[in-house]
Structures are given as C-alpha cells and as structure tokens.
C-alpha cells in the first residue's frame, strides 16, 4: 500500500441482489459508520454490488488497495447465492475449504441432526482466514488481511462489531455537531462557504429536510478536534443570528 493511502480510512462493500432490487433497505452502513467514528476511522466510500463472483473479486481487489480497512456485508450464509467467502478466497488467490476452527464452532453450536450441508457451508472459508466471533447465531465472520467479512443481517452484524475493537487501529474519535434551521440552502450557501474556507480542517455538510410540514436544512460539522467544532459552530451561529434564521430541534 502506498504511503499516501495509509491514513485511517475505510470502505464498505455491500453485497446482495436484494439491496440493489430495492426489496431490502440497508441499515448496516449506519451501524458500521457510527462504530468507526468512535474508533477514529473515517468511512470514505460505500459500494453496493450484486451476488456475482467477478464483481465481488474485482471490487475487493480495487478497494482493498485504496483503504486501510474494508468491510463487506452479506453473502456468507448457507444458501447457493452466498458466494462472498469463495469470492474473497479467489481475490486473494487463497485455497477455499472447510476452516477447522469455524467448523468446530458450528458443530458445537448445532445439534448433530441439525448440522446439515447448508450450515456446514458456513464453515467454508479462505485458507488461514482469521475468525470474527458471532455472539448471536454461531456462524463466524472472517478477516483476510485488511478485508473484514460480516453477515448482512443487521442485528447479527451489530452484535459482532464490538469484538473487532481490538483489531482496528484508529485515530482520534470523529466528533460531530448538528444545527438544524428553518431555511433553504440557497439562503445560507454563501455564508457557509466562507466558514468552510476559514475552517479547512473541519468537514461541513448541509442536508435539506422536510418534516412536519417544515422545510429546513441541517448543517453537520465533523472534526476530531472539539475546539475546532466549537469555534466553527460559533461562526455559523453568528451568521444565523444576523440573517434571523430560526433553529429547530429534530
């Protein structure tokens, strides 16, 4: 990995035709992003791809070279279309088969009569993959180099994140503050641009909303430095007062 790419950043690859078709709404990005913020890792890219081997291999090989951490969600279950594990093995040119430790975990988790071929399939992983403990349903996730493969079921994924805390070397916690206003973006665009130019090390975003019959804009300030967020917030408050724009709690 090139030195320029060694900043503490991450990408998520969401794998699943059900997301692309609109049948399932993804919520895993929110869980992973919030967790990474706490660890001081900046999420910089999210890709959604189908359950297709070539697409998974191509995307993993592209993304893992650009980011310190890559998280995949989905495709590690027991059915025929769960092909993430096999695809990751091919992306890294590793052999693919029953992982001894994963097999033992699943064998103990299920009764012998329930440990069928589908469940055994969840123990098939890339050679020498490290396991991610699953406190919810037994079947582990896995790690190959900087790629962390997690299930697509939101409750299970969320339960597994805490077990990765000691494996992620982050930076300073990413802090944020939100100001919600009854206004439109065009009314604050020029003033907000001036604040952004003054605070180059602060990420400022504006996001329109329509709630309870009210049109407004939420301004989100993000930085690892609390003092910078505070100073930036004061500058934004100053132009809000001058323009006589009302704030709202949402």
Helices 53-63/84-91 angle, 10° precision = 50
Q: What is the C-alpha to C-alpha distance for residues 179 and 219, in angstroms, rounded to an integer? A: 5
Adjacent-strand bridge partners of 126? 96
Query: With bands split at pLDDT 50, 70 and 90, how would you rate the model's confidence at 6?
Result: low
CATH dotted code for 175-243 = 3.30.70.600
Residues forming CATH 3.40.980.10 domain(s) in the chain: 3-167
Q: Specify the range with the lowest mean pLDDT, choosing from 4-8, 30-34, 218-222.
A: 4-8
pLDDT at 125 over 60: yes
Cβ count near 139 (within 10 Å): 20
Q: What is the C-alpha to C-alpha distance for residues 157 and 60, in angstroms, rounded to an integer? A: 19
Q: What is the C-alpha to C-alpha distance for residues 85 and 91, in angstroms, rounded to an integer? A: 10
pLDDT computed for residue 211 by the predictor: 83
Residues forming CATH 3.30.70.600 domain(s) in the chain: 175-243
Mean residue pLDDT of the chain comes to 94
pTM assigned to the model: 0.86
CATH dotted code for 3-167 = 3.40.980.10
Q: What is the C-alpha to C-alpha distance for residues 218 and 208, in angstroms, rounded to an integer? A: 6
Adjacent-strand bridge partners of 216? 209
pLDDT computed for residue 15 by the predictor: 97
Q: What is the C-alpha to C-alpha distance for residues 16 and 53, in angstroms, rounded to an integer? A: 11
pLDDT digits (tens, 9 = 90+) for 183-210: 999 999 999 999 999 999 999 999 999 9
Average confidence (pLDDT) over 237-244: 96
- Burial annotation 52-85 (CB, 10 A radius, 16+ → b, else e): eeeebbebbeebbeebbbbbbbbbbbeeeebbbb
Average confidence (pLDDT) over 105-132: 95
Phi-psi region of 16 (alpha: psi -120 to 50; beta: other; left: phi over 0): left
Q: Could you give the 3-state DSSP secondary structure of residue 233?
A: helix
Helices 28-39/154-161 angle, 10° precision = 10
Contact predicate 147/88, CB 8 Å: yes
pLDDT digits (tens, 9 = 90+) for 9-34: 999 999 999 999 999 999 999 999 99
Average confidence (pLDDT) over 217-237: 96
Phi, psi of 154 (to 5 degrees): -55, -45
Q: What is the C-alpha to C-alpha distance for residues 161 and 109, in angstroms, rounded to an integer? A: 20
- E strand map for the chain: 9-15, 42-49, 69-73, 96-98, 124-126, 130-132, 141-144, 147-150, 175-181, 203-211, 214-223
Average confidence (pLDDT) over 212-221: 92
pLDDT digits (tens, 9 = 90+) for 41-51: 999 999 999 99
């Amino acid at each position: 990995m090139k030195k320029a790419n060694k900043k503490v950043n991450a990408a998520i690859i969401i794998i699943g035709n059900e997301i692309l078709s609109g049948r399932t709404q993804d919520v895993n990005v929110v869980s992973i992003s919030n967790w990474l913020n706490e660890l001081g890792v900046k999420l910089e890219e999210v890709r959604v791809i189908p359950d297709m081997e070539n697409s998974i291999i191509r995307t993993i090989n592209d993304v893992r070279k650009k980011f310190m951490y890559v998280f995949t969600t989905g495709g590690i279950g027991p059915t025929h279309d769960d092909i993430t594990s096999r695809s990751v093995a091919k992306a890294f040119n590793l052999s693919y088969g029953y992982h001894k430790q994963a097999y033992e975990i699943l064998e103990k988790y299920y009764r012998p009569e329930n440990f069928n071929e589908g469940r055994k399939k969840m123990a098939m992983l890339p050679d020498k993959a490290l396991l991610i403990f699953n406190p919810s349903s037994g079947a582990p996730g896995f790690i190959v180099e900087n790629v962390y493969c997690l299930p697509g079921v939101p409750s299970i994924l969320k339960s597994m994140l805490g077990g990765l805390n000691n494996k992620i070397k982050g930076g300073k916690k990413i802090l944020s503050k939100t100001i919600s206003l009854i206004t439109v973006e065009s009314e604050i665009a020029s003033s907000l641009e001036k604040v952004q130019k003054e605070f180059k090390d602060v990420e400022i975003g504006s996001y329109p909303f329509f709630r309870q019959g009210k049109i407004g804009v939420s301004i989100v300030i993000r930085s690892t430095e609390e003092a910078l967020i505070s100073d930036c917030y004061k500058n934004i408050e100053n132009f809000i007062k001058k323009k006589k724009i009302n704030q709202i709690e949402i």
